[in-house]
Amino acid sequence: MIRAPAFIILTALQPLFIPALLLVEILDEAIPNSIPMHKKWDLVVAVK
């Protein structure tokens, strides 16, 4: 499950005001590509 590691990454990067699309790209590098892009996008937008 990607939720816990992704949440840590996304909350740590929040103060930098990085655009959502760039955060999805960061998650793509940090988490295996077995997770669909739209799921990562949903998670990024929820945290943002």
pLDDT tens digits, 3-34: 788 899 999 999 999 999 999 999 999 887 77
Domain count, the chain: 1
Note if the pTM is more than 0.85. Answer: no
Distance CA 13, CA 33 (A): 20
| Structural domain boundaries enclosing 16 | 3-47
12 to 5, 16, 34, 36: CA distances (angstroms):
11, 9, 23, 22
Confidence grade of residue 1 (pLDDT, cut at 50, 70, 90): low
Res 33: pLDDT: 73
pLDDT at 15: 94
